[in-house]
């Protein structure tokens, strides 16, 4: 059972272990995560996000066998409202949103004028003219406000008091049923609903950064963060719920992107095989339309692939881009790599030249331990049809 620290111990531990300043924000769950065993944080969207609750492999098994609760308040929301909200949101993304319903969520890309990816958020439509853009790690609030300035569109853009938690894993549905009753079981994959939990205002969606069955709970009152965390942990105890952090192992197994690692503003959707998220010929205008039309016609010079790296199990994910070569010639880079204990192999996402992107191509990767043989394989590495995440 997880050891719960007293508030006095939390304050002492914070003073000793976390050298934060006021320019890095703490989430409404910060104290709770430290009480429940968080020992290290990284910075994401100018906020602390827990990155260590002990053995990352055990965190992975907790996720795929039972359930974990993750503080992802650093996934900040950009709120767009006003009479032109729908038109403005469409202007930000190459994905066709013409049939997006109120109560629906969509995975989208936000692109610049060159077709480069600025963010890959989840879009939530709360009402006819009310959207949240749930961000990966980049300053889209500033981008959206800048775009709106001379757009001629009647929109209001800001950051609301909204802080998500992720409850992920095969037992997350049972925990949610304990918290919200049977009606939660009708919530479909990539849809949302408004709830109150003992007076705590929430938006709940069937989404999450894990490729597992899961939910995100968007707290709409930051003063209730500690209370919400404890309620969920208490409800989840009979089901083996553990505090945790987003799993690099599981997200790489699922082929999920980490912005700044697997994509950035120099990366376009076609290089990532995300053609389904781009409709360059739609009638609606969007930023990067002409560039993406040109890229589609001309093709790309590099592509993202999956790799199996044949070496001793990696001790931790890569912290730099590893060169990829063939016959001594550099042909790309590994962007994310990890050892999967379930697959019992080292797996990686890499960007390589198109002529070396075919499944079965043999390559060499320069890891921190030295050169290693690698082969291009299909991705995602596990559950490619996302049946687990979409299951009821």
> Does residue 358 contact residue 302 with C-beta atoms inside 8 Å?
no
pLDDT value for 239: 98
Mean pLDDT on 36-49 = 95
Q: Provide the pLDDT for residue 130.
A: 98
Q: What is the pLDDT of residue 22?
A: 84
Q: Alpha-carbon Rg of the chain, whole angstroms?
A: 21
The average pLDDT across 229-245 equals: 98
pLDDT at site 18: 65
List, for residues 192-211, the tens digit of each pLDDT value. 999 999 999 999 999 999 99
Tell me: pLDDT of 14 over 70: no
- Residue 24 banded pLDDT, cuts 50, 70, 90: very high
Lowest-pLDDT range of 20-34, 106-120, 194-208, 311-325: 20-34
Asked whether the domain spanning 301-380 has the same topology as the one spanning 77-158, the reply is no
Dihedral over alpha carbons 239, 243, 245, 247 (to 10 degrees): -30
Q: Dihedral through CA 96, CA 97, CA 100, CA 105, nearest 10? A: 100
pLDDT at 342 > cutoff 90: yes
The reported pLDDT for the residue numbered 365 is 98
CATH class name, domain 7-76+161-252:
alpha beta
Q: What is the arithmetic mean of pLDDT over 280-294?
A: 97
191 within 8 A of 102, measured Cβ to Cβ: no
Reply yes or no on whether the pLDDT at 181 is more than 60.
yes
What is the rounded CA–CA span in Å between residue 392 and residue 385? 15
**Can you tell me the distance from the alpha carbon of 104 to that of 243, in angstroms, rounded to the nearest whole number?**
28
Averaged pLDDT of the chain = 95
- Say if residue 1's pLDDT is above 50: no
Q: Is the pLDDT of residue 89 over 60?
A: yes
Check if CATH label 1.10.10.10 holds for domain 77-158.
Answer: no
Q: Give strand pairing partners of 205.
A: 192, 216
Q: Stretch 334-355: mean pLDDT, rounded?
A: 98
The second-level CATH assignment, the architecture, of 301-380 is: Beta Barrel (2.40)
Please report which helix (H) or strand (E) contains residue 232, including its range: helix 225-236
Q: What confidence score (pLDDT) does residue 9 get?
A: 55
Whether pLDDT at 15 is above 80: no
What was the pLDDT predicted at 391?
A: 85
- Percentage of the chain exceeding pLDDT 70: 95
pLDDT at position 21 is 77
**Domain locations along the chain:** 7-76+161-252, 77-158, 301-380
């Amino acid at each position: 059972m997880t050891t719960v620290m007293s508030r006095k111990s939390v304050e002492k531990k914070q003073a000793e272990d976390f050298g934060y300043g006021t320019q890095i924000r703490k989430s409404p769950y910060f104290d709770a995560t430290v009480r429940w065993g968080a020992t290290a944080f990284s910075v994401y969207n100018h906020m602390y996000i827990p990155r260590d609750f002990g053995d990352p492999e055990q965190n992975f098994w907790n996720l795929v066998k039972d359930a974990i609760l993750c503080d992802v308040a650093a996934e900040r929301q950009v709120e767009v409202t006003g009479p032109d909200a729908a038109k403005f949101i469409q202007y930000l993304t190459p994905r066709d949103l013409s049939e997006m319903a109120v109560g629906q969520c969509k995975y989208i890309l936000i692109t610049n004028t060159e077709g480069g990816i600025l963010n890959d958020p989840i879009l939530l439509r709360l009402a006819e003219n009310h959207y949240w853009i749930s961000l990966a790690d980049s300053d889209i609030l500033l981008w959206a406000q800048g775009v709106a300035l001379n757009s001629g569109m009647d929109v209001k853009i800001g950051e609301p008091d909204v802080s998500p938690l992720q409850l992920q894993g095969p037992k997350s549905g049972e925990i949610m049923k304990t918290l919200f009753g049977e009606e939660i079981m009708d919530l479909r994959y990539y849809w949302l609903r408004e709830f109150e939990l003992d007076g705590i205002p929430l938006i709940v969606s069937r989404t999450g950064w894990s490729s597992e069955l899961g939910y995100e709970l968007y707290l709409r009152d930051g003063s209730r963060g500690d209370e919400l965390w404890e309620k969920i942990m208490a409800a989840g105890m009979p089901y083996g719920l553990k505090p945790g952090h987003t799993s690099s192992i599981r997200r790489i197994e699922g082929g999920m992107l980490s912005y700044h690692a697997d994509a950035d503003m120099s990366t376009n959707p076609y290089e990532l095989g995300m053609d389904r998220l781009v409709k360059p010929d739609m009638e609606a205008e969007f930023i990067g339309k002409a560039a993406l039309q040109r890229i589609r016609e001309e093709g790309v010079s590099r592509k993202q692939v999956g790799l199996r790296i044949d070496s001793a199990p990696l001790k931790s994910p890569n912290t730099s881009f590893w060169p990829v070569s063939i016959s001594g010639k550099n042909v790309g880079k590994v962007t994310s790599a990890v050892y999967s204990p379930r697959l019992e192999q080292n797996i990686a996402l890499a960007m390589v030249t198109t002529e070396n992107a075919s499944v079965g191509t043999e390559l060499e990767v320069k890891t921190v331990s030295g050169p290693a043989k690698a082969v291009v394989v299909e991705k995602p590495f596990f559950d490619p049809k996302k049946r687990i995440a979409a299951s009821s």
